[in-house]
Amino acid sequence: MTKPWDTTSEHLLRELAPQVLGAVARRFRDFSAAEDAVQEALIAAFIQWPKEGIPDNSRGWLIQVASRRMTDQMRSEIARRERETAVAAETENLTSILEIEADMDPDDTLILLFMCCHPALTPSSAIALTLRAVGGLTTAEIANAFLVPEATMAQRISRAKQTIKTSGTPFRLPSPQERAERLPAVLHVLYLIFSEGYASSIGSHLQRFDLAREAIRLTRNTKTLLPDNAEVAGLLALMLLTDARRAARTGPDEELIPLDKQDRSLWDRLEISEGIELLTVALGKGSIGLYQLQAAIAAVHDEAGRAEDTDWPQILALYELLKRVSPGPMVTLNHAIAAAMVHGSAQGLQLLRALDSDPRLASHYRLDAVRAHLLEKTGDYEAAIKHYRVAAARTTSIPERNYLMTQAARLAGE
């Protein structure tokens, strides 16, 4: 018995991927090899299912294919070591799929998530491994999303797994204390996937895999696994409240449209109301954090019918909280913008001066961009033009550079 492949099937396959990997890794006690085997099983499903239909027990099918790969690999490994006598004993590991499924643990996906966001990994390796092992993406899809060759991405993933192997991390859920310590790193990886997807969602990168949507899916799943954690909910809310503005963010020529000039009727009302609902529940839990605060700021923007209706005093108050919870030059910079909106550009410019000596920001385009914007508001066009141009020279984003150059040209023409 099978059912036909349709538009939801790809989603089903990706949802099954971490469950299957959890079961196989648990069974064979080898995360790295299991991860390869599951990837092969996924690719086999992507090829066969659209043609032959989706098997009734689709998860069992994937477990079976992956387990077979594992056994084949173990056999050849054993043969290589000329220990044929051991073959029989090892093969017995492959009992029935039912037995493997019975051993499955609802926490498997969570174990995988903590494993993939291992502190020994660089952000780019953690991202790639998370997308493959937890997200069920193929190496080719991940390579496409990051515009690198598939072979390079395969190497990045295999090195990441080697690093985890070397670290000796067992396949089990970290202790509650360790989980609390490591959760920020996990959330950061999910956030980075989102921001990468968001950055690549315009311009010549339209054909790329939609990482922003993928990050939302993964964070949604993480929230199901950790339903009581306010920061997980806060991160999901932040993603939804930001993603809601996607369609309004660029114009017909892919040019960037700043928040105060966006056509707010293009904002996604469903995402906004879901984000606000999540945030309201999260804030009620009483453990405020970095993501909830950022989501709250995004919510204040999203709730304003027109740019001039934005509740800037509330945003300023939220940035003051954020400065305490998660201090950093970017927060200070955004705090200065909010202060300028409430108390006038002169005060904003005054606050920016404190950042001139911060080496983390001194040559960052964003400082010049904000300064240019505030100088323009005070009427000092000459200085504004200068800073818009400095910012244009320093940004590493083409749409942003176009935007900043256009701002300078507009003022120069006035």
Binding positions for another protein, rule: CB under 8 A? 122-125, 128, 146-149, 151-157, 159, 194-195, 198-203, 205, 242, 245, 249, 256, 259, 294, 297-298, 301, 315, 330, 333-334, 366, 396-401
Shortest distance in whole angstroms from residue 343 CB to another protein: 17
Q: How many CA atoms lie within 13 A of 50 on its CB side?
A: 8
Beta carbon nearer to another protein, 164 or 333: 333
Cβ of residue 155: shortest distance to another protein, in angstroms?
A: 4
The three-state secondary structure class of 21 is helix
In the bound complex, what is the minimum distance in angstroms from residue 250's beta carbon to another protein?
9
Give the 3-state secondary structure of 40-94: HHHHHHHHHHHHHCEECCHHHHHHHHHHHHHHHHHHHHHHHCCCCHHHHHHHCCC
Residue number with CB closer to another protein (171 or 198): 198
Question: In this structure, what token pair is assigned to residue 300?
Answer: 């204040």
**Minimum distance from residue 405 beta carbon to another protein (Å):** 13
What Å distances lie between residue 237 and 41, 71, 335, CA to CA? 33, 43, 21
Output the six-digit token pair for 331.
Answer: 């927060």
Residue with tokens 């089990």: 172
Query: Nearer Cβ to another protein, position 201 or 229?
Result: 201
Is residue 43 a contact partner of residue 85, using CB atoms and an 8 Å limit? Answer: no
State which residue, 13 or 256, has the beta carbon closest to another protein: 256
How far, in whole angstroms, is CA 353 from its chain's centroid? 33
- We find the least distance from the C-beta atom of residue 256 to another protein, in angstroms, to be 6
Question: CB of 267 within 8 A of CB of 244?
Answer: yes
Nearer of residues 89 and 259 to another protein, judged by Cβ: 259
**Closer to another protein by Cβ: residue 104 or 317:** 317
Q: How far is the CB of 148 from another protein (least distance, A)?
A: 5
230-243 vs 211-225: helix crossing angle, rounded to 10: 160
